[in-house]
Each structure stands twice: as structure tokens, then as C-alpha cells.
Chains A and B, each alone.
Chain A
């Protein structure tokens, strides 16, 4: 494998984690357009831990995930008052505030960025990405997931049958933020350089794109989406200058012909030759 493809593969693993972070939150009916910020928190915190304090990388990633998870839960608390597009816009605001914070955070380079991290291999990235994807797929078979779906489908009804919707929604935000932070930590240590612009609105949108394109109803959809998002523009290289326009067009076409995303339950069944459950 050439280093070129290895780095694309690492990129898609990092994007997969970002996409999963959105997916987990979306499963409770909440759209976050600010997960780039949680990614940034994970990137900055884990970099500081490994560079300044010499903490081993895996431990640093876990600490950043927990820290971002707590921040995510704290953010989710006031956000419980908001729904739909209003929640989405609030998360945009949160994302821009965090980016702006890092821009002014001179202790870690401010707008100049931060460097000095040890480089990690694509294998290490995918150990995390694959592991968390499997964890999410296991979660999808659990009772907790059914409760999340219930909150997604009808929050009021879910509350009436005795589910604690507050805990479910805040929990999803916290776990989503933690996964985004891992994505950020891996990004930082793969690129060995970070700057606030890496974690802006574009990044948050990229996560959502991967989920919606790949399929927002099943976990592996995020895998399809992130592979597509990273590799497709590479295949479009022959039309160099126009490839983003081509990519935008493809995006619209996919949304028009397959609004549930490329992968959904029935497609998985077809692919695995399993009969539909009665």
C-alpha cells in the first residue's frame, strides 16, 4: 500500500468516527452541526497531554474522550429546550465559539496552530475506528438503542411510557462528543499539526454529510459515507478543477434518488442474503 492510499485510509477512519459521533446523536432525533468543535477539543487536549505531559497516546485519547463527553453533556443540558433546526443552529453557534476560543488560545499556538505530536499509523487509526464502529453496531442491538429510537420517533410518547428522555438525549450527546474527541485526537496525531480552522463549520458539515450520504438509519452507513467522501474526490481527479462541482452534483443526485442514504436495512439484508424479518 502506497503512503498516499494509506493516508487516505487514515483520513476515512478519522471521518468515520466523526460521522458516528453525529449518528449517535441523530439516533435520538437531535441534529448537531457542531461536532467539529468536539473534535477540536479532543485534538487540542490529547495533543497537549502527549506533548506537554508525555502521557501515552491511548491514555491521552481516553482522557480527552471523557473530558469532551462531559462538555457534551453540559452543552446538551440547555440544548434540551431546543428542537430541530433551532437545535442545529445553536450547535453551529457552539462550534463557532469553540473555534474562536482556540483562535485566541495563545498558550497552544492560537491561529498559528500547534505541533510536536508523534505520528501514528493508519493501523492504529483503524483499530479505534473499527472498534468503535463495532461497539456502535452492538449498541444498535441493545435495549438502550430501542429507547433512543423511541425518543427519536416520538419524544412525548416515549416520556409517557416511562422512559427518561432527558437522560437518553444528554447521554447521546455526551457519547457523541466523546467519539468526536477520539476522532480529533487521531486527526491531530496523524497530521502532527492542528490549527483552529481544522475544526470549523466545514468539518461539522462533513460529518453530517457522511452520515446522510452513507445511510442515517444504520451504523455501517457512516462507514460507507466516510469512505465515499474521502475516496470519491480522488477518483474525480481527472476533472481536476471541476471535481468539487461534480461532487456537489453527485451529492444532490444521491439525495434525490436515495434519500435514506446509500445503505439501509433492506440493502444490508439483500447483501447478506438474509430474509426480511417478519
Chain B
């Protein structure tokens, strides 16, 4: 059932897009890989899950997951990034790894390592469009992704704050000389990135109806691949690469067997890195000059 597969792939791709965007907001501006984003996503998922089962409506659950993840993102920035910002790139990356170890352990202790299941009554209606079935949650994921990406694009492209962000991404030192407060913007990038990861977590947890503390590990690495394929420097890349990889994955599972899919995704990522390091949609400029 090809069309059904495409729809499922699109939903998975939407989540990749959000998470890839979350990675690239920090990566594009600071050049570091925030490995804790995968765990912010997972924690967001659990918070949303907990709120829904406690009887709160969906918007509250989404907001809860978003705020929770954003608050942790602030802590990570303050404790794990600020003091290390002039260290070699691998050092702050490993401090975010420290946070990811902590968050995973805390989640395991709070919610247990067994998968949590959403009771059946929380699954929304199924709509049939001819031969294709779309769940209510699936629709919400797709719509929310479009809205959130548009929102982030608006913030980054149109607001003074976004202009400053792009200036810092372009050249931190020059931006500082021109009076842009790099510190405040760094914090902003972390908050935006954390919020997105949190929302993505709630959406995917409710869509699948199940969650484990290892959700972040499974999807996080994939999201990094999506970020690279789309290009670490702009937003539209993730919007194209997310659905592309989501669909490619679902199709390889459907027609090639479930285990070749990682091979395909990461192979494609390496190919992009080598042949088009600026990503699918990136312009001519690429920044590969950073030192480890």
C-alpha cells in the first residue's frame, strides 16, 4: 500500500524535521553538537504522556513537554556550555553527553525502564480518505510540524532577534564587535532548541502511544543525519530532508526489510557530507573549518 506508506513516512519525517531543527539551532550558531537534545525529546515525551494520562487536554500536554524541556535546556546552557565555550568543541559536546546520561537515568528511575503505554481511549479517531487511513494524532503531528517550522523560520528570518542569531552564526567575533550580545543569543538558541525537542517528544509519544527512556537514543542519531542531509545552516533543509528520510525509511522497511534502513540513511548522510557538505538546500558557503 504505497500511499499509506508515504503518509506514515511523512509523519515520521515530520518528527525528524523538528528534532533536526532543534539540533541545527545550536549547531548552526555555536558549532557544537548538543547530544542532550535527544534526551530533552524523550523527557518532553514523558511529560506530555504524564499530563495526558492525568486528564489534561492535548494543548496543556504539549505546552508542559515544551516548558519542561526548555527549562532543562537553560540549565544545560548555564552549567554545561557557558563555562566551556572557549574550550575545544569536543569538550562542551561531552558535557552535553553528561547531561544526557543524567536525564536518561533520572527518567528510568521516575518512569521505569519498561515501555509506558497510553490507554486505548486516548487514541483519536481514524479518518479514511479513500484507501488511506490517517489517525487524528498523525494529522496533528503533520500540522504542528508545519506551524512550528514556520514559526521558527519567522523568528530566525524576520525578527531582530533572529537577525542577531544569524549574525552570530555567521561570525561570532564580528557580531560581538557590532554590539550583539552573543551570550543572550546563545541562551535563546538553547531555549528554542529545547522547546522544539520537547514538543517533538510529546507529539511522537502520543502518536505511537508508547514511550521508553531510550526513545531519544533511537531517534536522536537519525535526526543528526537528517540535519546533515538538509544542511546545518538553514531551516528549509530540515523541512525537505526530514520527510525525505522518513519516507525513505518507511519504504526500505516495506520493500527491503527492516534492517537495511539504517544502512541506507547513514550511507546517504556520508554521501552528502562528502559531495555536498552544505546540505541538499545549502548555498555555496560551507563551514568545515572548525577544529576539534
Contact = CB atoms under 8 A, between A and B. Distances in A.
A241 B95 contact: no
Interface in A81-104: 81-90, 92-94, 96-97, 99-101, 103-104
Chief secondary structure at chain B's binding surface: helix
Chief secondary structure at chain A's binding surface: helix
Chain B interface extent, by class: 35 or more
A177 interface: no
Contacts of A245: 101-102, 105-106, 109
Contact of A86 (B84, B266, B288): B288
B98 interface: yes
Nearest to A213: B94
Given A86-B277, A252-B80, A104 B288 contact: no
A31 B292 contact: yes
B146 interface: no
Chain A interface extent, by class: 35 or more
A14 interface: no
A170 B244 CA distance: 33
Nearest to A212: B94
B270 to A, nearest CB: 5
B91 A212 contact: yes
B2 interface: no
A5 interface: no
B128 interface: no
Given A88-B33, A209-B94, A93 B99 contact: no
Interface stretch (B43-51, B62-70, B161-169, B220-228): B220-228
A255 B109 contact: no
B266 A93 contact: yes
A167 interface: no
Contacts of B273: 82, 86, 89-90, 93
Contacts of B262: 96-97, 99-100, 103
Contacts of A30: 292
B11 to A, nearest CB: 23
Interface string B257-292: 101101100110110011001000000000011111
Contacts of B33: 85, 88-89
Contacts of A85: 27, 31-33, 89, 93, 290, 292
Contacts of B266: 92-94, 96-97, 100
B104 interface: yes
A162 interface: no
B292 A259 contact: no
A244 interface: yes
Given A31-B90, A248-B99, A252-B98, A90 B263 contact: no
B83 interface: yes
Interface in B197-234: 217, 221, 224-225, 228
Contacts, number: 139
A82 B98 CA distance: 26
B118 interface: no
Contact of A249 (B94, B98, B292): B98
B81 to A, nearest CB: 11
Interface in A125-170: none
Interface string B52-95: 00000000000000000000000000011001100101110111
Contacts of A84: 31, 89, 288-292
Given A245-B106, A256-B84, A29 B270 contact: no
Contacts of A96: 221, 262, 266
Contacts of A88: 33, 90, 292
Contacts of B224: 89, 92
A89 B223 CA distance: 12
11 contacts: A30-B292, A86-B277, A86-B290, A94-B266, A97-B262, A100-B260, A201-B221, A244-B102, A247-B101, A248-B99, A259-B87
Given A89-B273, A104-B259, 7 more contacts: A85-B32, A85-B33, A86-B288, A97-B270, A248-B100, A248-B102, A252-B99
